[in-house]
């Protein structure tokens, strides 16, 4: 069963992602610009994903179909920019741990809403008491991390 491997891979991605804000903040300090650092980070991401797509993605995808995409797919890129810029600007003030606790709390709130309404084509999964309890625990954890700083 490959499911546990996906969980481990997601944990590894999350662990690696936790280094992005402090790395980008260090770059911003050296460059004296948070937005330049964010732009460089996003440009590196674009260059790498295009190189990977060109190397491994041959025969997968039809670039001519871009025009048929719904308008809201652009939100994915916009959200990525918010994360990178937000990480550069917010993580140095809050600290990386509190920044990510807040990020995870916000992600869970947004994900719960997306599931509840079936946003962007996901299967609708109504909110229930256990989900609300879990969200409350994450938000309480955010408050504990904040108060310990």
How many angstroms separate the CA atoms of 113 and 71, rounded?
20
- pTM (predicted TM-score): 0.80
**What value does the CA radius of gyration of the chain take, rounded to a whole number of Å?**
18
Are 38 and 24 contacting, i.e. CB atoms less than 8 angstroms apart?
yes
DSSP 19-44: THHHHHHHHHHHHT-HHHHHHHHHHH
93-113 pLDDT per residue, tens: 988 888 888 888 888 889 999
**pLDDT score for 23:** 95
The C-alpha atoms of residue 15 and residue 117 are separated, in whole angstroms, by: 30
Provide, for the chain, the percentages of residues in helix, strand and coil under a 3-state DSSP scheme, each rounded to the nearest 5.
85, 0, 15
42-101 per-position pLDDT tens digit: 999 999 999 998 888 767 788 888 999 999 999 999 999 999 999 999 999 988 888 888
The per-residue pLDDT for 32 is: 97
Average pLDDT, the chain: 90
């Amino acid at each position: 069963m490959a499911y546990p491997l996906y969980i481990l891979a997601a944990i590894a991605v999350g662990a690696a992602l936790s280094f992005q804000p402090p790395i980008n903040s260090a770059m911003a300090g050296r460059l004296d610009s948070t937005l330049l650092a964010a732009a460089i980070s996003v440009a590196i991401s674009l260059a790498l994903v295009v190189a990977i797509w060109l190397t491994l993605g041959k025969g997968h995808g039809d670039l001519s179909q871009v025009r048929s995409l719904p308008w809201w797919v652009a939100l994915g890129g916009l959200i990525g920019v918010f994360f990178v810029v937000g990480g550069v600007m917010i993580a140095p003030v809050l600290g990386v741990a509190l920044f990510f606790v807040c990020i995870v709390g916000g992600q869970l709130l947004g994900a719960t809403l997306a599931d509840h309404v079936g946003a962007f084509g996901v299967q609708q999964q109504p909110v229930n008491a256990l989900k609300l309890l879990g969200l409350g625990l994450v938000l309480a954890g955010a408050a504990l991390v904040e108060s310990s700083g």
